Structure 1
């Protein structure tokens, strides 16, 4: 498998990270399925089905969706090579705010479990996650004992394995552009939800006023994300949802790709010690790549090619 060798332009971590968000266009056609949950809430799953026996379940990052450029790129690349696709949308990420006060979390959650309930016909399943979704996948793989036999392994990109460390990193210097970008979207979701369901947070022990005045992701998570999902504060939320604490329990092949120049990753997000201790883990740390990017001027990126080849030759062949 070839290494990622960017042009001079993409050796800048910030240009590499931002470029595909604004300039990469990938066209895919999904078939949407709405999953109605017992608490009157819902999840929207986007499929590409071609009667294949292999399925890749794609888990997007913070404030992403099935429309995120990296999700569409993987959907296109794998669906053209005899894979079916299930692209998840977490709560309030599919274009419509959800009906319950709960939001998606960075680690444990029911989205993957529910997706797998709808995927039992497949002989080979791979979980793939990106950024927050990568942490969710690793957290799932390390904390779920009775996984489907058809789950052959996972491929994850830029997982913030230490959520607290990553949050601190995004509050430093120029990295604040990313934190502010996410914070603006998160606050907008709160506005949308209150507008549609005015009383939805009355019993959630949340101060909406404080949440909307938050100046950092840590402040927002402390006042809103943690409390609305039943955690005491941001510290408890980060601790219980960081995959770094459960990597040692992963019992199926998981490949982690995190560029050394990723602007959102603290040193504690590179699980070198865990990889040494667990034979089921492997880690690739390219010198360049930014955050979930590996940008290129060409239509196809290194990342999806590398992922496809690694999954086919290193995971499914085991």
Structure 2
């Protein structure tokens, strides 16, 4: 039944169930080839985001659209981005990735960046897609930070506020404070250091160019040794939050699970090292529009399975199942989240 927890059908290969192995495997394998075009989308505040459109694009203006939002410091270079866009394109969907501000090829214009609760740019893009392709079915997918942002957006706008037929949320840190704490413990600090290195590099360039509206110098920046410290000194004040705690409280999408009206599929691994294993125990029950599929293993945006004689991304297979269900007449055992809701099952 929608709104309840379900067991995902992901099974890791024997010997590859460790969460860190699953998390790192996609980054160690050859990248999937993907042809794409770039577009700069102007925003109402004078800044811009960069879009990537998978090629070849469908000729039919009514072809369904998959809109993808990446994770913290992600981009079109992220393995999952190529899998998911490529999968959608192979199914005949118009597939597009929105880079958060500054994550594409160019630094953004304004003295700000992006964050887990920053829904305005996604809302603007969805409106632009509605104008360009008014008759196309549209589904959005968000990965990690992008998943939290997407869930917050659909909660804010309700079922009638967006031209979205559905949402897919993958490995999202729906309790940002708990996730920041989890990343500062044990082996997970390796991921934290990697993210901090990338985040600090962007801020360091702003400091050097004297375009950062914060009272912090390069030495103080180097001393920030955790994501919580970074969010307290940079993310929070740069985007109108009092501090990290205020940012985490106001940007976390988890407390809004019961308010989701857009048909939403959430995919999550219980051993995700970016967040506590008890993540969904601390969140309110999801509403009837939400289907949560939990896998025992999978790591953070890992989910690598053995199929057809080699390692393949289960996320791409699961995405294909969901997208095909949106464009195929419903079969009771294969219906998508939305179709299950509409049929009352």
Question: TM-score w.r.t. structure 1 length?
Answer: 0.92
Match of 1:314 among 336, 339, 345: 336
Provide the C-alpha distance between the structure 1 equivalents of 2:292 and 2:8, rounded to a whole number of angstroms.
Answer: 15
Q: Structure 1 residues 194, 86: CA separation in 2 closer, same or farther (over 3 Å shift)?
A: same
Deviates more, 1:172-181 or 1:138-147: 138-147
Matches within 5 A, 1:117-128: 117-120=127-130, 121=133, 122-128=135-141
Match of 1:109 among 102, 107, 119: 119
SS where residue 197 of structure 2 aligns? helix
Q: In 1, are the aligned partners of 2:40 and 2:49 still within 8 Å (CA)?
A: yes
SS where residue 136 of structure 1 aligns? helix
Provide the C-alpha distance between the structure 1 equivalents of 2:115 and 2:236, rounded to a whole number of angstroms.
Answer: 9
Matches within 5 A, 1:143-292: 143-145=156-158, 147=160, 150-195=163-208, 198-201=209-212, 203-206=213-216, 209-267=219-277, 269-270=279-280, 274-275=284-285, 277-292=286-301
Q: Structure 1 residues 20, 184: CA separation in 2 closer, same or farther (over 3 Å shift)?
A: same
The root-mean-square deviation of aligned C-alpha atoms, in Å, is 2.1
Q: Structure 1 residues 315, 96: CA separation in 2 closer, same or farther (over 3 Å shift)?
A: same
Q: Structure 1 residues 186, 142: CA separation in 2 closer, same or farther (over 3 Å shift)?
A: same
Residue deviations 1:142-161 (CA, integer Å, cap 9, x gap): 11247456411111111100
Structure 2 gaps, min length 5: 1-6, 326-334
Matches within 5 A, 1:79-94: 79-94=89-104
Provide the C-alpha distance between the structure 2 equivalents of 1:79 and 1:220, rounded to a whole number of angstroms.
Answer: 37
- Deviation, structure 1 residue 108: 2.9
Provide the C-alpha distance between the structure 2 equivalents of 1:270 and 1:126, rounded to a whole number of angstroms.
Answer: 24
The number of residues matched between the two structures is: 314
Provide the C-alpha distance between the structure 1 equivalents of 2:141 and 2:288, rounded to a whole number of angstroms.
Answer: 19
Which residue of 2 is the match for residue 295 of structure 1?
A: 304
Which residue of 1 is the match for residue 331 of structure 2?
A: none
Provide the C-alpha distance between the structure 2 equivalents of 1:213 and 1:274, rounded to a whole number of angstroms.
Answer: 36
- Deviation, structure 1 residue 204: 3.9
Residue deviations 1:165-197 (CA, integer Å, cap 9, x gap): 0000011111100101100110111123344xx
Residue deviations 1:44-102 (CA, integer Å, cap 9, x gap): 01113313521111010010012211011011111010111110100110022111111
Deviates more, 1:81-90 or 1:114-123: 114-123
Q: In 1, are the aligned partners of 2:23 and 2:299 still within 8 Å (CA)?
A: yes
Provide the C-alpha distance between the structure 2 equivalents of 1:99 and 1:206, rounded to a whole number of angstroms.
Answer: 20
Match of 2:154 among 137, 141, 145: 141
SS where residue 141 of structure 2 aligns? strand
Q: In 2, are the aligned partners of 1:157 and 1:258 still within 8 Å (CA)?
A: yes
Q: In 1, are the aligned partners of 2:254 and 2:283 still within 8 Å (CA)?
A: no
Provide the C-alpha distance between the structure 1 equivalents of 2:281 and 2:69, rounded to a whole number of angstroms.
Answer: 20
